[in-house]
Amino acid sequence: MKLIYSPTSPYARKTRIVSRLQSLDNQITEVAMCPFNDKDTLSKTNPLGKLPALVISDNQVLYDSNVICDYLDEIGSQPSLWPHHEIRGTESNQFWKVRTLVEMANGIMDAAFALVMEKKRSDNEQSASWIQNYTNGIMRATVAANTEVDFFVNKTRMDNIALGCALGYLDFRLSELDWRKDNEKLAEWYMEFASQQVMLVTAPPQA
């Protein structure tokens, strides 16, 4: 298998973490690519021109980080990173809560990436209202995540993987947002989570 990814992408980082946690990294060749500089090559793999993309055979490519993560979790040799959900009751509710937290983390990534792109525009092209909207959404989500730390602390699951990647991207691209302010529990959790080997080896390159 071949994973085409951007080293700075939090979405790609999720897939790289899952591949390692599922003991699949020795079966996957990672190919770093810039989606802005390698558009022609990338579009032949993913018609959307987006990363990451996982080539699993000569005629099949998976794209969207959620799809790739689910696929790797399915074929991996380690326990699933999702709670078992083919049951009713409390454990089923836990599954849906984990999925909701994953989507909140994905939403942080979406808003953060959009904010980064908006700030790259020239001053006269930037939208102050969109910048504020993205910023507010990110900050509300980190406050919400702070209230859920007890739910995902000391776990190895898709919710804290996704949140770890989202917060890492904020530090990497938008450190001025200072998401740690008023989010002490989340900041403490992230400091420990980010020190894990799987987070260190997938961290974006520092300038």
DSSP string, the chain: -EEEE-TT-HHHHHHHHHHHHTT-GGG-EEEE--TTT-HHHHHHH-TT--S-EEEEETTEEEESHHHHHHHHHHH-SSPPSS---SS-SHHHHHHHHHHHHHHHHHHHHHHHHHHHHHHHS-TTT--HHHHHHHHHHHHHHHHHHHTTHHHHTT--SHHHHHHHHHHHHHHHH-GGG-TTTT-HHHHHHHHHHTTSHHHHTTPPPP-
Mean pLDDT of 118-130: 96
Number of other CB atoms surrounding residue 101 within 10 Å: 21
Mean pLDDT of the chain: 93
| Whole-number Å distance between alpha carbons of 18 and 156 | 10
From residue 101, give the alpha-carbon distance in Å to each of 7, 115, 142, 206. Answer: 24, 21, 11, 28
pLDDT at 83: 86
Mean pLDDT of 3-18: 97
pLDDT digits (tens, 9 = 90+) for 15-68: 999 999 999 999 999 999 988 877 777 888 888 888 999 999 988 999 999 999
pLDDT digits (tens, 9 = 90+) for 75-115: 999 999 998 765 556 666 888 999 999 999 999 999 999 99
Mean pLDDT of 183-194: 98
Residue 183 and residue 140 in contact, taking contact as beta carbons nearer than 8 Å: no
pLDDT digits (tens, 9 = 90+) for 127-181: 999 999 999 999 999 999 999 999 999 999 999 999 999 999 999 999 999 999 9
What is the set of domains in the chain, with CATH numbers?
2-75 (3.40.30.10), 90-197 (1.20.1050.10)
pLDDT at 15: 98
